Amino acid sequence: MKNITTLFLTLLLLAACGRKTEKKTRGTSTTIENTLKDSIQSQTNKEISTTEPDWLAALPLRDFPITDSTSFDNFEEIGMPDNGFLKRIKFDPRRKDANNFRLNYKIPFSANFTSVVISYQLGEHELFATLITVSKENKIIDRLEIAYDEVAESAFGKTSKIEKDKIVVTSSNWMSEEPVFETESYLLQNDGKFKKIN
């Protein structure tokens, strides 16, 4: 009888140990499975972020020719409010009271860099639109002011015609009896820098 009891207790102990091992194995299996899922998800996120950042994916793409006449009448209908991208690329408007930054649209100049038009206000009376080129490392290569509007005197403005091989910026001055128009032409070089050509 003693042997049967000992045998029964040994079997019971082995069965209990087997269950604990089974539970641990399941837990380990679940942990490994979760780790693999996290790793795959992390890798997928890395692939997505290197191909096209979120801010760029949501930004409208405009094709040539483009006329940019960003003004107080239309700037809030274009693009989207800045989501921190300008801070990431360290964009400096060179004006302390600049506000209301917007990412307007991107332009397909080159696969080597990204071309984005942004706008921002200076106080309540001035509005600027700037074309910036950004490297794949999210560093600003160059910038060009392509539109301007002011509502204090409504006398000064700037618009641009953007083509694949040339950007023509037209400034207007309505302070005298006859308005004065001046044009400047730029070329966007392969390295992402603007070169004045007249």
How does pLDDT run across 64-110, given as a tens digit for each residue? 999 999 998 888 888 889 888 898 888 888 777 888 899 999 999 99
Residues 64 and 154 reside in one and the same domain? yes
Residues 78 and 33 reside in one and the same domain? no
The domain in which residue 20 lies consists of 1-51
Mean pLDDT over each residue of the chain, to the nearest integer? 78
Residues 5 and 60 reside in one and the same domain? no
Alpha-carbon gap, residue 136 to 115, rounded angstroms: 11
Pick the most confident of 24-38, 50-64, 117-131: 117-131
Task: Specify the higher pLDDT residue, 35 or 158.
Answer: 158
Residues 113 and 29 reside in one and the same domain? no
Total domain count, the chain: 2
Neighbours of 130 (CB within 10 A): 19
Q: What is the pLDDT of residues 156-172, one digit of tens each?
A: 999 999 999 899 999 99
Residue type, 121: Q
Question: What is the pLDDT averaged over residues 13-34?
Answer: 45
Residues 97 and 172 reside in one and the same domain? yes
Alpha-carbon gap, residue 143 to 82, rounded angstroms: 17
Residues 41 and 59 reside in one and the same domain? no
Residues 111 and 152 reside in one and the same domain? yes
Residue type, 32: I
- What is the percentage of the chain residues whose pLDDT exceeds 70? 72
pLDDT band at residue 54 using 50, 70 and 90 as cut-offs: low
Alpha-carbon gap, residue 3 to 5, rounded angstroms: 5
pLDDT of 198 > 80? The answer is no
- What is the percentage of the chain residues whose pLDDT exceeds 90? 47
Residues 186 and 154 reside in one and the same domain? yes
Residues 37 and 1 reside in one and the same domain? yes
- If we measure between CA atoms, which residue out of 121, 108, 114, 168 comes closest to residue 140? 114
pLDDT band at residue 37 using 50, 70 and 90 as cut-offs: very low
pLDDT of 1 > 60? The answer is no
Residues 101 and 153 reside in one and the same domain? yes
Residues 1 and 60 reside in one and the same domain? no
- pTM for this prediction: 0.70
pLDDT band at residue 53 using 50, 70 and 90 as cut-offs: low
- Cα radius of gyration (the chain): 31
pLDDT band at residue 42 using 50, 70 and 90 as cut-offs: very low
pLDDT of 26 > 90? The answer is no
Question: What is the pLDDT averaged over residues 176-187?
Answer: 94
pLDDT of 2 > 80? The answer is no
Residues 69 and 7 reside in one and the same domain? no
Alpha-carbon gap, residue 74 to 69, rounded angstroms: 9
